[in-house]
Amino acid sequence: MRCDVVSVGTELLLGQIVDTNTVFIGEQLAAHGIASRLQVKVGDNVERIEAVFRQLLVDADALIVCGGLGPTHDDVTREAIAAVMGVELKLDEAIADVIRDLFAQLRRPMADNNMRQAMVPVGAEVIPQRRGTAPGLICPFQLDGDARVIYAIPGVPDEMEEMLERAVLPDLLARAGEPSVIASRVLKVWGESESGLNARLDDVIARLDDDGDVTLAFLARGWNGLEIRLTTSADSAFAAHERLRPWEEEIRAILGGVVFGADGDSMESVVLDALRRRGWTLGLAESLTAGLVAARLAGVPGASDVLRGGLVTYASDVKFELLGVTPGPVISEEAALEMAEGACRVFGADVGLALTGVAGPDRQDDVPVGTVCLAVVGHGAERATTLRLRQSASREQIRQLSVINALDLVRRFLR
């Protein structure tokens, strides 16, 4: 089974929008073992879209098409599909009713062109819309004697992702002769490289390959660490999850503490949860990261019950005056420790986290660029931990690496 992908929209060709839809779709197809050989961006031109469909369908069994399903005259994906199928478009009364209801609810007059969204190629199956007004389409047909299928889904990422998972992938797997309930489990990792994970999971990966039922993929998520994604399909959700569970347990046992979470977890949500469970609050003192740690924690809704506040001490004398750091060089584990204690004191927090270092471009206090000192002080200062890092990277990378390493230090401190 080969499934290629087409993104429709002149704005994509003009570079006005980044096409992240095919990234998501490509990932999902790979996770389910379906080959995708070509992914094409094409403008809102019905002849050109039709030509792309025909070219790709010479070798591809299926196409997923994103975008061009809106109500305006330049949304022509429906017309191009009907042309390749060699059928007419007809009004689907059920979709028409949904669209009329939506406008009635919004108390807005409905322009006639909205009914374009209810036009469906004869022989297509409708994927009902849950968000937005654009329904999706499953369009199976014969092309020169071969079975082909085109899936049309909206270009809006939220709507696209939801429809892909709910309707497109199950249908595609069924046509490929695969069981159609899909389940994934994602483990989040920090503190190990992709090649390091590969080496440590060598034996597991070999057995997964032999087994063939569960796929494993590594996905780099930048400042959110690495993901290990286990995916399988089965006849029921229960059976799929049961198939994933022993593999997850084995991987966790091998990797130990570098696995910081699963599925929807982030490093910041894990740190906040660990503090919240103990009823502890957090105070921050940041130098080179200048607020990035605070901002990342505060990005989690509900962070305010844990995060008391933070001090961005960009100038050295601010560290001395406000945090009580001993005057002198400020890039050391000792200075970081004093900063963390100062953060506890200033904010009346149970745990203090501090970061000091040199992001560059120039050395500071004769300390080379990329040197970062981290400290965590716990609950009354009877416990503390520090870490000195040397990172060879750009200014922005040094700052972002410091953030996630600091959060990870808190996580490990709390275990």
Name the residue among 147, 122, 112, 151 with its Cα closest to residue 29.
Answer: 151
The residue from 2, 48, 276, 345 that contacts a copy of itself (CB under 8 A) is 48
HEC letters along 224-243: HCEEEEEEEEECCHHHHHHH
Specify the amino acid at residue 140.
P
* Using rule CB under 8 A, residue 32 touches a copy of itself: no
In 10 A of CB 404, how many CB atoms?
22
For 323-381, give the secondary structure using H, E and C: HCCCCCCCCCHHHHHHHHHHHHHHHCCCEEEEEEECCCCCCECCECCCEEEEEEEEHHH
With contacts defined by CB under 8 A, name the span among 66-74, 98-106, 254-262, 306-314 that binds a copy of itself: 306-314
d(CA 376, CA 351): 7
Among positions 9, 32, 34, 39, the unique one binding a copy of itself when judged by CB under 8 A = 39
Q: Is 43 exposed, middle or buried (0-12, 13-18, 19+ CB in 10 A)?
A: middle
Per the CB < 8 A criterion, the answer to whether 407 and 296 are in contact is: yes
Is 117 or 162 the residue whose CB approaches a copy of itself more closely?
162
Smaller CB distance to a copy of itself: residue 42 or 373? 42
Q: What sign does the dihedral 235-264-227-6 (CA atoms) show?
A: positive
Residue count, binding to a copy of itself (CB under 8 A):
65
Stretch that binds a copy of itself, among 41-49, 84-92, 204-212, 253-261 (CB under 8 A): 41-49
Token pair, residue 119, equals: 């036009």
**What Cα–Cα distance (Å) separates residue 343 from each residue in 268, 286, 313, 338?**
19, 9, 11, 9
With a CB cutoff of 8 Å and minimum separation 6, the contacts of 283 are 308, 309, 310, 343, 344, 346, 347, 348, 349, 351, 352, 353
In the complex with a copy of itself, the residue whose CB is nearer, 93 or 366, is 366
> Which residue, 23 or 122, has its beta carbon nearer to a copy of itself?
23
Question: What Cα–Cα distance (Å) separates residue 283 from each residue in 248, 270, 302, 323, 388?
Answer: 35, 16, 16, 12, 20
Residue whose CB is less far from a copy of itself, 14 or 253: 14
Least distance CB 17 / a copy of itself (angstroms): 8
Q: Site mask, a copy of itself, residues 118-157, x = CB under 8 A? A: ----------------------------------------
Q: Using the rule CB under 8 A, is 312 a contact of a copy of itself?
A: yes
Say which residues have a Cβ less than 8 Å from residue 369's Cβ, sequence separation at least 6: 358, 359, 360, 361, 362, 363, 398
**Window 53-82: residues binding a copy of itself (CB under 8 A):** 55
* Footprint of a copy of itself on 200-239 (CB under 8 A): 219-220
Beta bridge partners of 94: none
Nearer to a copy of itself, 23 or 237 (CB): 23
Q: Which of 26, 33, 170, 179 binds a copy of itself (CB under 8 A)?
A: 26
Between 267 and 288, name the residue whose CB sits nearer to a copy of itself: 288
Q: Does 198 bind a copy of itself (CB under 8 A)?
A: no
Least gap, CB of 290 to a copy of itself (angstroms): 3
Residue ranges in 275-304 that form contacts with a copy of itself under rule CB under 8 A: 284, 286, 288-295, 297-299, 301, 303-304
Contacts with a copy of itself in 376-405 (CB under 8 A)?
395-396, 399
In the complex with a copy of itself, the residue whose CB is nearer, 20 or 236, is 20
CA angle 138, 53, 80 (to 5 degrees): 70
Query: How many CB atoms are closer than 10 A to CB 25?
Result: 24
Residue 41 as a binder of a copy of itself (CB under 8 A): the answer is: yes
Shortest CB 25 distance to a copy of itself, Å: 7
Question: CB of 204 within 8 A of CB of 230?
Answer: no
Residues linked to residue 172 through DSSP beta bridges, in sequence order: none
16 is a site residue for a copy of itself (CB under 8 A): yes
Compute the least distance from the CB of residue 120 to a copy of itself, in Å: 27
Give the per-residue contact string, 339-378, with a copy of itself (x = CB under 8 A; - = no). -------xx------------xx-----------------
Among 40, 208, 274, 384, binds a copy of itself (CB under 8 A): 40
Q: How far apart are CA 404 and CA 222, in angstroms?
A: 10
The helix (run of H) or strand (run of E) holding residue 74 is none
Q: Can you give the binding site for a copy of itself, defined by CB under 8 A? A: 12-20, 22-28, 30, 36-43, 45, 48, 52, 55, 219-220, 284, 286, 288-295, 297-299, 301, 303-304, 307-315, 318, 322, 346-347, 360-361, 395-396, 399
